[in-house]
A and B are shown apart, each in its own frame.
Chain A
Amino acid sequence: GNSVTQMEGPVTLSEEAFLTINCTYTATGYPSLFWYVKYPGEGLQLLLKATKADDKGSNKGFEATYRKETTSFHLEKGSVQVSDSAVYFCALSDYPGNTPLVFGKGTRLSVIA
């Protein structure tokens, strides 16, 4: 079956530090890959996505590249801010169509000033 593994948190960084959250996946087909984010007191929101190999998803300074050869979709940001403090979830869905998401366990990020 499909599965997603992401690095365990919590991750604590100082403002302006570089962020990497690792995510690897196992899939029987050719999945689409997503990063979702949950800010305190808010619902899950889509942060970025990629649908085919070598695609780079980007949003709000965050980036992730779909690496088929390493089955990875690591999330990066060059300079984090306090407002980036949240829980980040890596997820996949089967291609094609809109099938349910399979999520990683989530990584809590705390950014301190």
Chain B
Amino acid sequence: DAGVIQSPRHEVTEMGQEVTLRCKPISGHNSLFWYRQTMMRGLELLIYFNNNVPIDDSGMPEDRFSAKMPNASFSTLKIQPSEPRDSAVYFCASSLWGESQPQHFGDGTRLSIL
């Protein structure tokens, strides 16, 4: 079975440009999570969805960040405009809803903002 698929794997762009990260969760999973990993702060939750509805976006750093889940098989994380401090590895994860269901992670997108 295919796991969580993220694209692109790597993104290098200049400051001020719009960046869109994509995620395809595992089929049948109804929870989706976006995390960001940095050297300083480690792995942190940005936002998560249950049944395509955003539940908690308190981790989204500022208005430049937005996330959508238009259907059960696709989510995007957008940064506009991007800044050098947004450089990080962004992970998407999905799971079934339920007690202690494990989250399955994608390989991540390594984002570099010059």
| 5 A–B contacts from the bound complex (CB under 8 Å) | A43-B4, A43-B107, A46-B103, A49-B100, A103-B42
**Residue B43 interfacial (CB < 8 Å):** yes
Interface size, chain B (Cβ < 8 Å): 27
Report yes or no: B3 in contact with A97, Cβ–Cβ below 8 A: no
- A residues at B contact (CB < 8 Å): 32, 34, 36, 42-46, 49, 51, 89, 93, 95-98, 100-106
Residues of chain A lying within 8 A (CB to CB) of residue B104: 46
Residues of chain B lying within 8 A (CB to CB) of residue A42: 107
Contacts A44-B91, A45-B105 known; A51 to B100 CB distance under 8 Å? Answer: yes
Report yes or no: B99 in contact with A95, Cβ–Cβ below 8 A: yes
Contacts A43-B105, A106-B42 known; A96 to B99 CB distance under 8 Å? Answer: yes
> 1/0 per residue B1-44: CB within 8 Å of A?
00110000000000000000000000000010101000000111
A28–B4 Cα distance when bound, in Å, is 30
Query: Nearest chain-A residue to B92 (Cβ)?
Result: A43
Report yes or no: A89 in contact with B99, Cβ–Cβ below 8 A: no
Contacts A100-B48, A105-B42, A106-B42 known; A34 to B99 CB distance under 8 Å? Answer: no
Report yes or no: B106 in contact with A34, Cβ–Cβ below 8 A: no
Q: B108: which of A34, A36, A43 is its contact (CB, 8 Å)?
A: A43
**Residue B102 interfacial (CB < 8 Å):** yes
Query: Nearest chain-A residue to B45 (Cβ)?
Result: A100
A106–B35 Cα distance when bound, in Å, is 14
A89–B35 Cα distance when bound, in Å, is 14
Residues of chain B lying within 8 A (CB to CB) of residue A102: 45
Q: How far is the CB of B93 from chain A (nearest CB, A)?
A: 8
Contacts A100-B33, A104-B42, A106-B42 known; A34 to B98 CB distance under 8 Å? Answer: no
Query: Nearest chain-B residue to A48 (Cβ)?
Result: B102
Q: Which of B73-114 contact A (CB under 8 A)?
A: 91, 93, 95-108
